[in-house]
Amino acid sequence: MDVQIYLFKSLILILWGIYLGVESLAILKWTVPQHLVQSVGNLYPINNFFLSISLPSEKQYVNRFWKEIRVGDFVRLRCNEIIPADILLLSSSDPDGLCHIETANLDGETNLKRRQVVRGFSELVSEFNPLTFTSVIECEKPNDDLTRFRGCIIHDNGKKAGLYKENLLLRGCTIRNTEAVVGIVIYAGHETKALLNNSGPRYKRSQLERQMNCDVLWCVLLLICMSLFSAVGHGLWVQRYQEKKSLFDVPESDGTSLSPVTAAVYSFLTMIIVLQVLIPISLYVSIEIVKVCQVYFINQDTELYDEETDSQLQCRALNITEDLGQIQYIFSDKTGTLTENKMVFRRCTVSGIEYSHDANAQRLARYQEADSEEEEVVPRGGSLPQRGSTGSHQGIRVLHRSQSTRSHRRTGSRAEAKRASMLSRHTAFSSPMEKDITPDPKLLEKVSECDRCLAFARHQEHPLAHLSPELSDIFDFFIALTICNTVVVTSPDQPRQKRGCLNLLRGHSPVKTIEDFLRRFTPSRLTSGCSSIASVATSKSAHKSGSSLLSTLANDGALLGLEERLGPPAPGLTSNGYSSGADGWAQHKVAKEPEPEQELRYEAESPDEAALVYAARAYSCTLVDRLHDQVSVELPHLGRLTFELLHTLGFDSIRKRMSVVIRHPLTDEINVYTKGADSGILGPEWPGLGRHQMKIRSKTQNYLNLYAVEGLRTLCIAKRVLSKEEYACWLQSHLEAESSLDNREELLFQSAIRLETNLHLLGATGIEDRLQDGVPETIAKLRQAGLQIWVLTGDKQETAINIAYACKLLDHDEEVITLNAESQEACAALLDQCLHYVQSRSPHSAPEKTASSVSVSFSPVCPPLVTTTPSPSPSLVIDGRSLAYALEKNLEDKFLFLAKQCRSVLCCRSTPLQKSMVVKLVRSKLKAMTLAIGDGANDVSMIQVADVGVGISGQEGMQAVMASDFAVPRFRYLERLLIVHGHWCYSRLANMVLYFFYKNTMFVGLLFWFQFYCGFSASAMIDQWYLIFFNLLFSSLPQLVTGVLDKDVPADVLLTKPQLYKSGQNREEYGPRTFWLNMADAAFQSLVCFFIPYLAYYDSDTDMFTWGTPITTIALFTFLLHLGIETKTWTWLNWTACGFSILLFFTVALIYNASCATCYPPSNPYWTMQTLMGDPVFYLTCLIAPVAALLPRWVCGTLTFRSSVSPESLFLARAGKRPTVLPKWFTDGQAGQPEPTGHRLFLGALPGPAAAGGSGENLEMLFFFFL
């Protein structure tokens, strides 16, 4: 008994040690890079320098380690140094107070981002002196939100200035293109945003694992029942056979015998130890090993490598690979996920007149026809020709996030190709298709007319006043396209420096960084990229004028001298008020010889903005410079106009628009230019709206609908002129909102809403976003696999519907239900009407279409013809407002029931929150397996809520990838990931889990049946060392090899017949029914394997351990043959593993029995195996018992396969090119039957096709030989 307890403890410790070791290695594989980077950063001087910190006692900058940084320290950083803490930027060597940082180590984005010196310090001309800093900083508590920072700084004069994320340098980022900066530490150590976000990957538990844990509890209950049964039996046996109990029970220390109750208790506890193998602890170890190997093979699949972007699939989660084979609902974003996110200007409407740009459409068609041709990659460090050298569109290139190029020919090494690809990926619109816009002749003629008017009035005080309303709208339209964005114009020159910063840069020694170390753990990235600016802060110049204005208002309450206090216009004109140039825009292109100019580079935050800037440039309205407080535009007649940039109100998903507030250099007026969705611009009509503007709005809305039907992305352009009194009133409330800490976002939102009212509509644009290659085919295959696909997009309804038809999400011959409601009551009524309509559809009648349903936004768009065949399920289209109503508690069940009846669902104008709510609703209410796929930051919440999150490394940054479980280069790779690898992973793990339960139950059954012959005394007829090493060594390797390499169906068959994926959705491989059938089969096999040797050695002089050795051998053979039946793909590794297990068992047994004579007295294992190997009975039992035990499983498995719901689909898929191996009786009567759509046998299938050499057929013939 003591030996059993000791061995039990040792076994448990060994298994748990192995499990924890494997789990630790798996975790370290993904987390060690981050921890190593942090350790190096904390223990060693950054860039082999000590960090420069200003100490009041030293009155100079001194060198310190990262770990010595404290909140309130002043830190000086140089170019290419890594930021050691969250630092508030107070000084920069850039004359405009800018600092460029690279955030690749933080969020994976390779583009550069700009940061701005805190307002009040950017005006300093001399070097910043930390000893003179006396301001007070108030900020929020440390948090993990990388996109937000709230605070304010109170200067000596009592004025407050708001602090934003644009003022904060985050730990882990790198200083780029800025010689030196100085800042004060706000958060340090573990309170920095980088470390607060470094909590490790989100743990997810797969559905198979949850089912397995439930079955483990059943095993625990079964163990208790078996132990309790044995305890009761032993107590009764002791009470009945008093004279024989000394043979099995150990007496007390004083020699007295145990009472029946005490003996039963001891027997119960001992049986727990003896039968503990029933609980598959080693299963957890094996699953971790198999999952790590599965992830490795998925990553190595060359079919998931995208040559175009030189990227491959990334498995970012180790523990949910099997969930890929059980997905039921896919939730997908549209822009950048289904489409390329390459925005090309297509057409526009200005002042109610539409310009179709037919020549531009023909040009795009030619590019699309030649899209498959290879394009030359821009070499590293190369530049485009200067502006004016060959055309008006050269010399400027746009950069934005993760732009991909077409596939290129790899003439050098893979590393060189990857570097070239990385450069091209981040150079947006590197091909002429995106940037060469062909102007519309009608619009170009009106531009020329505008040019003539401006030429006539160029020397007058207000030249724009001489333009007609239509020409004035055209002028403002192109000005808005040019400056209403966050596009930044840069040049490859060295960064500019302040004169006062020379002392700051003295002693600058060569920089040696640890970035080579960092690049080993992070993707390759460029040191220069695009910038992301979305500032809502008041600019420096605006603060100057605004502060003086507000002080005047506070003192005398009047608007005296308002014009003077607001300051003069920003300089941007020559002495006569205009820059010199040719007489006309058209003449400018021909007559004016281009002067040698510096190459310009556009850095755009989104492809939409870049497309609009290029469109304006096609009409000679060129963005040439942008600073934090001004933006310069070059016009052919007026030359360079510099607009004073007062405010930039960034885009958000609620307002659905962005605005810039500028001072016009020609009129000295304060103008607001706004662009955004039609729902955000064309809001309720305000009272002062004139008839002409109402007519323009009506015409523009019609054109917007036309653009949406063509699948174009639409944007409206509008303008508002503010009086100085209106601006002063708005500015006061806006500054108060900026300085607020508690509800700043809400106050700023309300401030933007007040400004963006009473807008004068200028026009609208239509931008084309093409579908990715292979999207329609992928959606079709996923639907055949039984997957429901929902598209959640923020685009307007008409655009989304058009794209849905293009990608085959909607079919033209199917019925589409459109649900648009203006209120919650209307939404409830429409849901009831839709439910009634769907439920009343009869297979033998045409769908009813009432007049009310058509007129009240419930309209079958494409009703099917009257037919006697069952009509297909309809599709549902719902807009964002109706979706918000439908997600309310009282309507969500109706909405979900309706959506469940539909073939596909398209949610338009949906916000990020609504996306996550829809996924959460389906996941929680329907208990379905969900997958969410997206490419942008607005998809992160949806990706995190889903069971499986898939990110696409697209042009919206790396936020989606960083939050995902799997990352794919393109949407089309989702097909192979799910249908092939998902099916394989699920099938392998499901069968391996069932095999573990079977093996442990069968082995425990052998020990349990023996209790009937030993008085339930918890004795074991199997040697203790065999008990220890049987699961650990003898039978562990073959099941691991099968779990890693087995392929029940070849990949090409799975892709040809995607309906085989439904087996995972229906949990046909592993579920409660298969579990209990598997356990019953294990009990039967244990009976056979126990009683055949028992009868063979009955009434012989064989001792207990000699008799237990054949049982152990039979169990090993039975396990291996059982595994052979379940293995569908045999390789040399499978044969090697099985042979090694048998060889290892006999080798250990022979050595152990030969060398251990009296290891455990009174038992004597000496020469046991040697004696048995000389007895013919041993060979007969080892041959007959496994065959007899597995024969019912083989026969029942075949019959179950024959009569299942899908009798032949999986079998034919597995048989593949080997139809002749089927027995004739199995194929009789199958001709003429329709092809099934699913499968599953429950007790084991016939061996499938062999992957190497037809070994599956050999195993089948071996089985017939046994019979």
Read off the pLDDT of residues 731-741 as tens digits, 9 standing for 90 and up.
Answer: 999 988 888 87
The arithmetic mean of pLDDT across residues 165-179, rounded, is 90
d(CA 321, CA 343): 35
Q: What is the pLDDT of residue 424?
A: 40
In this structure, are residues 77 and 180 in contact, taking their beta carbons and an 8 Å threshold? yes
Residue 382's contacts (CB-CB under 8 Å, 6 or more residues apart) are none
For the record, the structure tokens of 1064 come out as 């995972």
- Encode burial over 234-256: b for 16+ CB neighbours within 10 A, e otherwise: bbebbeeeeeebeebbeeeeeee
d(CA 91, CA 110): 24
Instruction: Evaluate the CA torsion angle 422, 427, 428, 432 in order and state its sign.
Output: negative
In this predicted model, what pLDDT tens digit does every residue of 971-982 receive, in sequence order?
Answer: 999 999 999 999
DSSP reduced 3-state for 921: helix
Residues of the chain with CATH 3.40.50.1000: 314-338+788-977
d(CA 735, CA 747): 10
Residue 980: exposed, middle, or buried by beta-carbon count in 10 A (0-12, 13-18, 19+)?
buried
* DSSP 8-state class, residue 1233: P
In this predicted model, what pLDDT tens digit does every residue of 1243-1252 receive, in sequence order?
Answer: 233 333 333 3
915 in a labelled binding site: yes
Q: Which residues pair with 306 in a beta bridge?
A: 311
The arithmetic mean of pLDDT across residues 720-732, rounded, is 93
Query: Alpha carbon of 1010 to those of 233, 234, 1107: distances in Å?
Result: 13, 13, 11
Amino acid at 46: I
Residue 650's contacts (CB-CB under 8 Å, 6 or more residues apart) are 486, 534, 535, 536, 658
Q: Which residues pair with 860 in a beta bridge?
A: 817
Write a three-state SS string for 482-519: HHCCCCEEECCCCCCCCHHHHHHHCCCCCCCCCHHHHH
Residue 366 has pLDDT above 70, yes or no: no
User: Alpha helix locations (H) across 1156-1175?
Assistant: 1168-1172
- The single residue listed with the structure tokens 């400056």 is 483
Of 27-41, 867-881, 918-932, highest mean pLDDT:
918-932
Which one is predicted more confidently, 272 or 937? 272
Closest CA to 792 of 328, 402, 338, 403: 338
Which one is predicted more confidently, 415 or 1079? 1079
795 in a labelled binding site: yes
Q: What is the pLDDT of residue 686?
A: 64
In this predicted model, what pLDDT tens digit does every residue of 275-296 receive, in sequence order?
Answer: 998 998 889 889 999 999 999 9
Is 608 one of the annotated active-site residues of the chain?
no
The arithmetic mean of pLDDT across residues 1221-1229, rounded, is 35
244 in a labelled binding site: no
H/E stretch holding 1093: helix 1072-1096
Residue 306: exposed, middle, or buried by beta-carbon count in 10 A (0-12, 13-18, 19+)?
middle
- The single residue listed with the structure tokens 């053979």 is 1117
Residue 495 has pLDDT above 60, yes or no: no
> How sure is the predictor about 715, in pLDDT bands with cuts at 50, 70 and 90?
very high
Question: Percentages helix, strand, coil for the chain, rounded to the nearest 5?
Answer: 50, 15, 35
Residue 866 has pLDDT above 50, yes or no: no
Q: Look at the domain 205-291+978-1266 and name its fold.
A: Calcium-transporting ATPase, transmembrane domain (1.20.1110)
Q: What is the pLDDT of residue 428?
A: 38
> How sure is the predictor about 506, in pLDDT bands with cuts at 50, 70 and 90?
very low
Write a three-state SS string for 1108-1149: HHHHHHHHHHHHHHHHHHHCCCCCHHHHHHHHHHHHHHHHHH
Q: What is the pLDDT of residue 878?
A: 94
For the record, the structure tokens of 771 come out as 């579908």
Residues of the chain with CATH 3.40.1110: 340-368+398-486+535-558+605-767
Residue 339 has pLDDT above 80, yes or no: yes
Q: What is the pLDDT of residue 358?
A: 82
What are the two backbone dihedrals, phi and then psi, of residue 679, each rounded to the nearest 5 degrees?
-70, -25
In this structure, are residues 665 and 573 in contact, taking their beta carbons and an 8 Å threshold? yes
d(CA 206, CA 238): 48
> How sure is the predictor about 962, in pLDDT bands with cuts at 50, 70 and 90?
confident
Residues of the chain with CATH 2.70.150.10: 44-200+514-519
Residue 1124 has pLDDT above 80, yes or no: yes
Pairing mode, strands 875-878 and 930-934:
unpaired
In this predicted model, what pLDDT tens digit does every residue of 60-88 receive, in sequence order?
Answer: 788 888 888 999 999 999 998 999 999 99
Residue in 94, 323, 333, 629 annotated catalytic: 333
506 in a labelled binding site: no
d(CA 1230, CA 1016): 52
1001 in a labelled binding site: no
d(CA 19, CA 950): 28
CA torsion 1169-1171-1175-1178 (nearest 10°) is: -20
In this predicted model, what pLDDT tens digit does every residue of 610-653 receive, in sequence order?
Answer: 889 989 998 989 999 888 789 999 888 778 889 999 999 988 87
Residue 95 has pLDDT above 90, yes or no: no
The arithmetic mean of pLDDT across residues 448-476, rounded, is 81
Task: Give the count of beta carbons closer than 10 Å to the beta carbon of residue 128.
Answer: 22
Q: What is the pLDDT of residue 21?
A: 63
652 in a labelled binding site: no
Of 26-40, 247-261, 876-890, highest mean pLDDT:
876-890
For the record, the structure tokens of 649 come out as 């109100």
Q: Which residues pair with 649 in a beta bridge?
A: 659
- Mutual angle of helices 724-739 and 744-755, in 10-degree steps: 170
Q: What is the pLDDT of residue 862?
A: 37
Residue 1170's contacts (CB-CB under 8 Å, 6 or more residues apart) are 1150, 1153, 1154
CATH number of 340-368+398-486+535-558+605-767, picked from 3.10.450, 1.10.1660, 3.40.1110, 2.30.30: 3.40.1110
Amino acid at 557: G
> How sure is the predictor about 847, in pLDDT bands with cuts at 50, 70 and 90?
very low
For the record, the structure tokens of 1171 come out as 């004696």
- Mean per-residue pLDDT of the chain: 76
Instruction: Evaluate the CA torsion angle 978, 983, 984, 986 in order and state its sign.
Output: positive
Lowest mean pLDDT among 492-506, 984-998, 1215-1229: 1215-1229
For the record, the structure tokens of 999 come out as 């093996």
CA torsion 1000-1002-1008-1009 (nearest 10°) is: -170
The tally of CA atoms less than 13 A away on the side-chain side of residue 1015 is 19
Amino acid at 487: V
Closest CA to 661 of 646, 650, 675: 646
Closest CA to 579 of 644, 623, 632, 645: 632
254 in a labelled binding site: no
> How sure is the predictor about 1230, in pLDDT bands with cuts at 50, 70 and 90?
very low
User: Alpha helix locations (H) across 1011-1103?
Assistant: 1024-1029, 1037-1045, 1051-1056, 1062-1065, 1072-1096
H/E stretch holding 931: strand 930-934
911 in a labelled binding site: no
Q: Note the CATH architecture for domain 44-200+514-519.
A: Distorted Sandwich (2.70)
Task: Give the count of beta carbons closer than 10 Å to the beta carbon of residue 1092.
Answer: 21
- Mutual angle of helices 983-1010 and 207-240, in 10-degree steps: 0
Residue 1019: exposed, middle, or buried by beta-carbon count in 10 A (0-12, 13-18, 19+)?
middle
Task: Give the count of beta carbons closer than 10 Å to the beta carbon of residue 197.
Answer: 16
For the record, the structure tokens of 1050 come out as 């070849």
d(CA 336, CA 341): 4
Radius of gyration of the chain from Cα atoms? 38
Q: What is the pLDDT of residue 519?
A: 41
Residue 247 has pLDDT above 70, yes or no: no
H/E stretch holding 603: strand 600-603
In this predicted model, what pLDDT tens digit does every residue of 550-601 receive, in sequence order?
Answer: 333 334 333 333 333 334 443 333 333 333 333 334 333 333 344 444 566 7
Pairing mode, strands 948-952 and 905-907:
unpaired
Of 216-225, 512-521, 1165-1174, highest mean pLDDT:
216-225
d(CA 1163, CA 442): 105
Lowest mean pLDDT among 462-471, 523-532, 798-807, 1136-1145: 523-532
In this structure, are residues 143 and 560 in contact, taking their beta carbons and an 8 Å threshold? no
Could you give the strand order of the β-sheet that contains 639-652, starting from the edge strand earlier in sequence? 353-355, 339-350, 760-771, 713-722, 670-676, 657-663, 639-652, 630-635, 622-626
794 in a labelled binding site: yes
Q: Which residues pair with 114 in a beta bridge?
A: 100
- The single residue listed with the structure tokens 């099995």 is 248
609 in a labelled binding site: yes
Angle, CA of 304, 606 and 707, to the nearest 5°: 95
Which one is predicted more confidently, 231 or 629? 231
Lowest mean pLDDT among 77-91, 380-394, 1189-1203: 380-394
d(CA 140, CA 136): 14
As a whole-number percent, the residues of the chain with pLDDT over 90 amount to 38
**Distance, C-alpha 99 to centroid of its chain:** 30
> How sure is the predictor about 1029, in pLDDT bands with cuts at 50, 70 and 90?
confident
Q: What is the pLDDT of residue 540?
A: 37
Residue 775 has pLDDT above 80, yes or no: yes
Residue 272 has pLDDT above 90, yes or no: yes
675 in a labelled binding site: yes
CATH number of 314-338+788-977: 3.40.50.1000
Residue 1265's contacts (CB-CB under 8 Å, 6 or more residues apart) are none
The tally of CA atoms less than 13 A away on the side-chain side of residue 841 is 25
Query: Alpha carbon of 321 to those of 924, 967, 992, 1259: distances in Å?
Result: 21, 13, 14, 30
